Amino acid sequence: MAAVVTPVDQRPTSDPPQRKRTPLWRSKGAMVAYVFILPYVLFFAVFRIAPAIYGTVLSFGDFSLSGAFTLEGLDNYRRLFADSLFWNALRVTGIYAAIAIPVTVAISLAMAQLCNRVLRGMSFFRSIYFLPVVTSPVLAGIVFIWIFSADGPLNSGLSIFGLELGSWLQSSVLVLPALALVSAWLNFGYNMLILLAGMLAIPVDYYEAAELDGASTWQRFRKITLPLLKPALFFVLILETVKSFQAFDTIYVMTGGGPVRASYTLTYMIFDQGFGYFDFGYASATGVVLLIITLIFSLIQRRILGRDN
Amino acid sequence: MAGTMTAPALDEAGANKKLRRKSSGRGTYVVLGLTALITLFPFYAMVIISLQPGVAISIPDSLFPTSISLDSYRDALDSQNIPQWAWNSAVYSIVSVVLVLLFASMAGYAFAKKRFLGREMIFWVFIAMLMIPYHLTIIPQYIIVGELGGLNTMWGMIAPTVANAQAMFLMRQFIKDVPDEIIDAARIDGAGEFRIYWSVVLPQTKPILATLGTFVFLWHWNDFLWPLVSQQSPGNYVLTVGLNTLQEQQVPLATLMASAVVTFIPALLVFIFLQRYFVRGVMMSGIK
């Protein structure tokens, strides 16, 4: 007991004696503040910060099912870079992103341009376009399995034009475009709203002046809308990049990574190695690589788009 | 070409304005209508198939049904675990919304209005964590929740989702705009610290609470990966996970679609009644 009391008693003497204000961390307001942030900080530390650090540590070791963890240095990464499964996942993720990002952004931009006018009933149409955003990817996946099936509505429609494609999800060529279309359907309403907010912020005078100078609709879009929309467009692009690198729900429901790993993305690999094989260390190494790739891409996009800002 | 285009356009700009608007309006409606139909088709298909149990789906005949039956809904609600899953989804979503809003607003208030040691540092650690992808943290999160004995429990599923960095950030931004004067006035009137937060600050943030609440609810209602890995027994599934197992078990397509419709109805209701909060939230995120 005495041993506990002594250092506390000594503390004031070790502090500079002339201090007038109570130290920031001991003032009444500060104590209240700590109480207010405590629940949040506690949950955040245990379920966000700890897992982020733990995940990085896991990638340098092996976590056996019995709960024992052994550090193994770079073994997981060495194995990863020698694994054809990883290179396939990287390739699949790249192709998927290369399809999903431009398709989704182009549709979102076109729809925002279409919705950026005063017309009776416009808010009704905007609501319809927004409906997929509140839909769960699992539900979307289930309906689109049927839409993309061999005798589904999409193929029935295409057969009118003489196209016989068979089941999209069982074709190693068509499976990624199919998944990208589902992603576009799910997300365009959200992006459309962000772009629309950006378009509404552009002064009408610019368009009126351009119209007087005889600029065509396309010229007005190209020379006024696009440059002034850059911040919103950049935001949407980053959003879609992250989303396409992390696509999981629709892939899990619709293809399970197939056919023959044609839709086996990096996120799917993390899940598969982690919860399919319970190889937590290996899965975490894949996660760290995904993190690095995401960061590099954000930086590149920032560099390219932000140059003249 | 450009020259000949420019001159008449200049002359007609004023006179033709009305005319052009009108014709472009009709064309716009055609495009708007077509894209709306494409957007709505999956929902339409879902409902139509769910109303035709036992019918082999042939296209396009069955897309315009002559007879409908609610048998699939009876089947979905009676013989499947759907009521239990719906309850689990509701608890997961609603408890999370309450906790996220409470913790985020409390912390947001402290970060916006209080001076304390480590304020800037702690805040930027939170924001930096937004960069870490979810899929990197899900495995350690699974291990940690397992260590705490939370796997296969409702609290174990909810706990990792309540410390929401975006929510806290938004609350802080919003509470910053609450005038200091009304807080000081309440303090002079003798209100305690919690009282000030609860009856002075919180009422000022109602719009942002509604926006955040809508977002967090829909996010949890549609969440899939974490409920999938954290719950093993079918009685603990949420609707999205349950729906996926039905699909894997290859129940009849009509039953599957009826289950999907049931899953979608709460999200639809939230969307219809809280749409303006949701839309405002999206637009806010883009402008900043």
Tens-place pLDDT, residues B262-285:
989 998 998 888 888 878 777 776
Q: How far apart are CA A24 and CA A21, in angstroms?
A: 8
Q: How far apart are CA A211 and CA A167, in angstroms?
A: 48
The confidence score (pLDDT) of residue B285 equals 66
User: A62 - beta bridge partners?
Assistant: A70
Would the CB atoms of B114 and A25 count as touching at under 8 Å?
Answer: no
Q: Does B32 touch chain A (CB under 8 A)?
A: yes
The predicted-structure confidence for A241-294, as pLDDT tens digits, reads as follows: 888 988 899 999 999 887 989 999 999 999 999 999 888 999 999 999 998 988
Confidence of residue B4 (pLDDT cuts 50, 70, 90): very low
Residues of A in contact with B63 (CB under 8 A): 153
Q: Which two tokens stand for residue A285?
A: 């190494």
Q: How far apart are CA B66 and CA A220, in angstroms?
A: 49
Phi first, then psi, for residue A35 (nearest 5°) are -65, -40
Least trusted range by pLDDT, from A110-119, A186-195, B22-31:
B22-31
Dihedral, CA of residue B40, residue A103, residue B167 and residue A266, to nearest 10: 110
% chain B with pLDDT above 70: 87
Would the CB atoms of B225 and A50 count as touching at under 8 Å?
Answer: no
Confidence of residue B115 (pLDDT cuts 50, 70, 90): confident
Q: Does B92 touch chain A (CB under 8 A)?
A: no
Residues of A in contact with B58 (CB under 8 A): 151
pLDDT at B15 > cutoff 60? no
Would the CB atoms of A136 and B31 count as touching at under 8 Å?
Answer: no
The confidence score (pLDDT) of residue A120 equals 82
- Chain B nearest-CA residue for A42: B163
The confidence score (pLDDT) of residue B42 equals 94
% chain A with pLDDT above 90: 36
Task: Round the average pLDDT of chain A to a whole number and report it.
Answer: 85
Would the CB atoms of A36 and B126 count as touching at under 8 Å?
Answer: no
The confidence score (pLDDT) of residue A272 equals 93
With H, G, I as helix, E, B as strand and everything else as coil, classify residue A284. helix
Q: Count of residues for chain B?
A: 288
Residue corresponding to tokens 């197992």: B245
Mean pLDDT, rounded, for B165-181: 88
Least trusted range by pLDDT, from A19-23, B104-108, B231-235:
A19-23
Instruction: Pick the residue of B24, B116, B145, B261 with the most A CBs within 10 A to test the interface with A by mutation.
Output: B116
Closest Cα in chain A, distance from residue B280 (Å): 9
The confidence score (pLDDT) of residue A155 equals 84
pLDDT at A194 > cutoff 80? yes
Q: Which two tokens stand for residue B229?
A: 């890995």
Interface of B with A in 226-255 (CB under 8 A): 228-229, 240-241, 243-244, 247, 253
Would the CB atoms of A36 and B116 count as touching at under 8 Å?
Answer: no
Closest Cα in chain B, distance from residue A149 (Å): 12
With H, G, I as helix, E, B as strand and everything else as coil, classify residue A204. helix
Query: Who has greater pLDDT, B3 or B64?
Result: B64
Would the CB atoms of A41 and B29 count as touching at under 8 Å?
Answer: no
User: A70 - beta bridge partners?
Assistant: A62
The confidence score (pLDDT) of residue B193 equals 85
The confidence score (pLDDT) of residue A158 equals 86
The confidence score (pLDDT) of residue A101 equals 95
Q: How far apart are CA A254 and CA A116, in angstroms?
A: 34
Query: Who has greater pLDDT, A141 or B125?
Result: A141
Question: Is the Cβ–Cβ distance between A225 and A144 less than 8 Å?
Answer: no
Instruction: Pick the residue of A28, A54, A139, A188 with the most B CBs within 10 A to test the interface with B by mutation.
Output: A139
Confidence of residue B58 (pLDDT cuts 50, 70, 90): low
Residues of A in contact with B278 (CB under 8 A): 130, 134
Rounded to the nearest angstrom, the gap between the alpha carbon of residue A191 and the centroid of all alpha carbons in its chain is 13
Rounded to the nearest angstrom, the gap between the alpha carbon of residue A25 and the centroid of all alpha carbons in its chain is 38
Question: Is the Cβ–Cβ distance between A173 and A139 less than 8 Å?
Answer: no
Question: Is the Cβ–Cβ distance between A179 and A255 less than 8 Å?
Answer: yes
Give the burial class of A3: count Cβ atoms within 10 A of its Cβ; 0-12 exposed, 13-18 middle, 19 or more buried: exposed
> Which amino acid is it at B259?
S
Q: What is the DSSP letter of A83?
A: -
Q: Does B198 touch chain A (CB under 8 A)?
A: no
Residues of B in contact with A44 (CB under 8 A): 126, 129, 163, 165
The confidence score (pLDDT) of residue A1 equals 35
Confidence of residue B62 (pLDDT cuts 50, 70, 90): low
pLDDT at A65 > cutoff 90? no
Instruction: Pick the residue of B30, B126, B139 with the most A CBs within 10 A to test the interface with A by mutation.
Output: B139
**Longest Cα pair distance anywhere in chain A, in angstroms?**
92
Residues of A in contact with B162 (CB under 8 A): 43, 47
Question: Is the Cβ–Cβ distance between B76 and B258 less than 8 Å?
Answer: yes
Closest Cα in chain A, distance from residue B76 (Å): 15
Q: Which two tokens stand for residue A177?
A: 């475009």
Q: Does B134 touch chain A (CB under 8 A)?
A: yes
